[in-house]
Structure 1
Amino acid sequence: MDLQQFRLQAQQRDKDNKKFLQSLKKKDARKVDDVFHELHEEVFEEMDCLTCANCCKTTSPIFYQTDIERVAKSLRMKPGDFIEKYLRIDEDKDYVLKSSPCPFLDTDNYCMVYEDRPKACREYPHTDRKKMVQIMDLTHKNTLVCPAVLEMVERLKKVF
């Protein structure tokens, strides 16, 4: 995965993608879901996250209390020690990682806490959710992070 090329394409298409995704809010929500979910399956059959891991390299998931407890346990740490070592509170008052790339990402783009990873990581990039029209702002942000989401949006344009 050529991340430099991806970033350039994502930036070039950013304004159009934002406008397009906003326009989907006015469409039939069920149809948007159906097409998104179909494209989600299609694109992820073609793309391997392990060749990219840009999400893990550039963004932080939100860590909820259950995530903190689960990951801390897997690392044989106390939740308080885990928070102190790895997390900070962001402007939205959420726990997020202190640094990027993610400290649990290894050199082969594998997650060292994969089985116990946070809910936000499990659900990323959120393109197989119900009521996609409600998260178009998030989807737009993810076109700048995830090559698969950018590809889904490009294919969506051909449908709508």
Structure 2
Amino acid sequence: MDIELYKKQALQKQNEHRKFLEGLKKKPPKNLDYIVQEVHEEVFETIDCLSCANCCKTTGPLYTEKDIERIAKHLKMKPADFEAKFLRVDEDNDKVLQHLPCFFLNNDNTCSIYDVRPKACREYPHTDRKKIYQINNIMIKNTVICPAAYEFVENMTKRLKK
């Protein structure tokens, strides 16, 4: 998978994608959530996250207190020790990874804590959520990082411009 090509295409189409997503916000189709789910499933039939893992390599998720407790327990650590070893507080006062790529990313692009991974990782790239237009800015950022997010917006555009 050519991440650089996807990134280049996403950057070239940012204005077009932004305009499309803003249109969804202004006048969402009645069956938007259904269409979103359908397009999400179609995209993930062709895109395999394990062939990419760009999100794990370039962006760190936000860690909630529940995430920290769950992962620390899984790793048989105290939450405070987990935080000290892996996390830092960013400029938005969120708890995020100290370093990228993600410490839990294996060489084969699998995740060593997949079953207990953070909520943000489980939901990424947010292409299956209801009222998708509520996260337009996040979706635009995600198209540059994630080929699936890019394909999702492209396919949504094609589907709704019929």
Does the 8 Å contact 2:68/2:83 carry over to 1? yes
Mapping for residues 38-49 of structure 1, pairs under 5 Å: 38-49=38-49
CA distance in 2, matches of 1:13, 1:91: 29
Deviations 1:101-160 (Å, cap 9, x if unpaired)?
Answer: 101001100000001101111111111111112111111111111101101111111123
Instruction: Look up the match of 1:8.
Output: 8
Q: Secondary structure at the match of 1:25?
A: helix
Instruction: Look up the match of 1:54.
Output: 54
Aligned pair in 2 of structure 1 residues 28, 14: CA closer, same or farther (>3 Å)?
closer
Mapping for residues 10-159 of structure 1, pairs under 5 Å: 10-28=10-28, 30-159=30-159
Matched positions, count: 160
Structure 2: tracts of 5 or more residues without a match:
none
Q: Alignment identity in percent? A: 55
Deviations 1:31-61 (Å, cap 9, x if unpaired)?
Answer: 3322211100011011110000011111111
TM-score by length of 2: 0.93
Does the 8 Å contact 2:40/2:128 carry over to 1? yes
CA RMSD of aligned residues (A): 1.2
CA distance in 2, matches of 1:72, 1:109: 21
TM-score by length of 1: 0.94
CA distance in 2, matches of 1:105, 1:29: 38
